[in-house]
Structure 1
Amino acid sequence: MTDEASLRIDLAAAFRLAARFGWHESVGNHFSAALSADGRRFVMNRKWRHFATIRASDLQVLDADDPDVMTRADAPDASAWCIHGNAHRRVASARVILHCHPIAATTLTTLADPRLLPIDQNTARFFGRYVIDPECGGIADQDDEGIRIAGLLAQAPTLIMANHGVTCVAETVAEAFENLYFLEKAAETLLRAYATGQPLAVMSDAIAEHTAQGWDAYRGMAFTHFDHLKSLLDAEDPSYRQ
């Protein structure tokens, strides 16, 4: 199996799993993965395809340097091109880009203070490893918005986007998916803690950073977890591999 074939299968699995976890939103939101060494040639879901039906062969190959991409009949979604096209063009380290609107993380983005406070191990996982986009320009379909978002993704692999959603980037699909998985869990924990109305027991910066560093030794979890999740898809509906 070629590297591109494996990448397509993993990305297709990420779509199916996102739908399973309820992170999808109608037929919007987009995941992409770089094919070329410089990241500018990449695959992404086509315009308005439901996450639950995406197969490896459905993914569209795009060139971030293609000036005519939005003029063709098979043009990608404008907001997807704005975010993913700019990120793949400008942030070579963003090999895989997962952008969606999961309910807990998106709810966090609606708060005046959307910081992911370190109150447990999952929230502390992101300490000093995420960036907040404090601006919201509506639906992100303007080039200057995409350029600004790309600049933020160059600073940190996890982006909390005010009044919008979240974006996670990584070298592999498994690692990006794991970050998205824990980001949603962390946001849910923080929101539930807020809902109690009780004061939060926020870790000191030193303990939060120590905890975040401790997660580095567990990097391999992402691959084992993702393989397990794919095995569930394989048992129920392996059509994502087609």
Structure 2
Amino acid sequence: MNATVDTVATMSDAERQARIELAACYRLAAHYRMTDLIYTHITARVPGEPGHFLINPYGWRWEEITASSLVKIDVDGNRVDDSRARVNPAGFTIHSAIHAASHDAAWVMHTHTRAGVAVSSLEEGLLPLNQIALQFHGRLSYHDYEGIALDLDERERLVASLGSNPALILRNHGLLTTGASAAEMFNNMFYLERACDIQVATLSMGCTPAPVPEALARHVAAQYTRTIHEEGDLGLEWEAHLRTLEALDPGYKA
């Protein structure tokens, strides 16, 4: 199922780098226990190829994903490389919607983690209970559950729900984050997942939670924007993730 020698030989440097970073995202998500066996997806738009994006081969565990195993498809679901691997229909529906509609969201990650699905099942969604959750204050959207994402007409509504925010809670379903880069998308998911995990732990204690006041929540969200996006912390975080991956198994780049 890996890409053929001819495909690799004619691949642009930009596509090759995108494949390596996308494979890294899959391996890191597996390391941080954000997988759902062979389901859910992380995708990346192919640089310089409008309408084309990379997705995992259906049936592969995320621990197995490599740069060359990723499948290139278009926003209509057609394979545009030499891979014969299957693509999950629900994954195509969700990811093609965003890749076709949003220029800024070049990278998209969707998960079904225990904490993420738990919070998605609450009417209140993500609560402003702690510092980690506050980075999503005013930056998080919600999409009502419509069943398994197999109906293509849901794509327009999904994009409308996301709006201009980088993160989306799919109610009764899971989490979704986007980014202009692998680093931004993965950072958003890493902390959205952590915020959900902390909320589940907090509410499980049976005590009265102490939400952060609105004005302070806005202030903290602005602080996060400064440190992550304006002061370079995002790049430092991504480099740290990649060092973790290199120590575990650098084979994802193959």
Q: Same fold (TM over 0.5)?
A: yes
AA in 2 matched with 1:164:
H
Asked whether the equivalents of residues 71 and 85 of structure 2 are also in contact (C-alpha less than 8 Å), the reply is: no
1:142 aligns with 2:151: yes
What is the letter of the counterpart of residue 26 of structure 1? Answer: L
Partners of 1:195 and 1:126 in 2: CA distance: 22
| Contact 1:105–1:184 (Cα < 8 Å) also in 2 | yes
For residues 212 and 39 of structure 1, the distance between their equivalents in structure 2, rounded to whole angstroms, comes to 33
| Offset at residue 197 of structure 1 (A) | 2.1
For 1:37 and 1:56, locate their aligned partners in 2 and report how far apart those are by CA, in whole Å: 18
Q: 1:129 maps to what in 2?
A: 139
One-letter code aligned to 2:234: A
2:64 matched residue in structure 1: 53
Residue type at the aligned position of 2:65: I
Cα pair 1:35 1:41 within 8 Å, conserved? yes
| Partners of 1:189 and 1:154 in 2: CA distance | 26
In structure 2, distance between residues paired with 1:154 and 1:95? 15
Tell me how far 1:235 sits from its aligned partner.
Answer: 2.2
Gaps of 5+ in 2: 1-11
Structure 1 residues 66-105: Cα deviation after superposition (integer angstroms, max 9, x where no partner): 6689xx9644110011111121111222110001112212
Q: Deviations over 1:22-70 (max 9, x none)?
A: 110111111101114585211111212110010011111111146689x
Contact 1:39/1:95, CA 8 A, preserved across alignment: no
Aligned counterpart, 1:105: 116
Give, as a single letter, the amino acid of the residue that structure 2 aligns with 1:30: H
Give the distance between the partners of 2:101 and 2:129, measured in 1 at CA. 34
- Specify whether residues 66 and 236 from structure 1 end up closer, same or farther in structure 2 by C-alpha distance, changes over 3 A only: closer
Task: Provide the rounded CA distance (Å) in 2 between the counterparts of 1:190 and 1:149.
Answer: 25
Task: Provide Cα deviations, 1:187-209, integer angstroms capped at 9, x if missing partner.
Answer: 11112221222222111111101
Computed over aligned residues only, the root mean square deviation of the Cα atoms, in angstroms, reads 2.0
Other structure's SS at 2:42 match: strand
In structure 2, relative to structure 1, the CA distance for the partners of 1:165 and 1:172 (3 Å cut) is: same
1:133-175, CA deviations, whole angstroms, 9 ceiling, x for partnerless residues? 1x21221111022222122223311000111011000100111
Using the alignment, how far apart are the partners of 1:147 and 1:51 within structure 2?
28
Residues 74 and 179 of structure 1: CA distance in aligned 2, closer, same or farther (over 3 Å): same
Q: TM-score, normalised by structure 2?
A: 0.87
- What's the counterpart of residue 9 of structure 2? none
- Structure 1 length as normaliser, TM-score? 0.91
Aligned counterpart in structure 2 of residue 232 of structure 1, from 216, 241, 244: 244
Q: Structure 1: any 5+ residue segments left out of the alignment?
A: none
- 8 Å CA contact 2:73–2:79 kept in 1: the answer is no
Q: Do 2:30 and 2:63's aligned partners in 1 also have CA atoms closer than 8 Å? A: yes
The answer to whether the Cα contact below 8 Å between 2:77 and 2:92 also exists between their aligned partners in 1 is no
Partner Cα separation in structure 2 for residue 82 and residue 122 of structure 1: 30
Query: What is the distance in 2 between the residues matched to 1:25 and 1:66?
Result: 22
Structure-2 separation of matches of 1:187 and 1:178:
14
Pair 1:103–1:39, CA change in 2 (3 A): farther
Q: What's 1:223 paired with? A: 235
User: 1:76 pairs with 70, 84, 87, which one?
Assistant: 87
Contact kept in structure 1, 2:141 and 2:168, CA below 8 Å: yes
Residue 20 of structure 2 corresponds to which residue in structure 1? 9
Q: Partner of 2:141: helix, strand, or coil?
A: strand
Cα distance in 2, alignment partners of residues 225 and 25 from structure 1? 24
Q: Bigger CA drift: 195-204 or 47-56?
A: 195-204
Secondary structure of 1:147's aligned partner: helix
Contact 1:38 1:92 in 2 (8 A): no
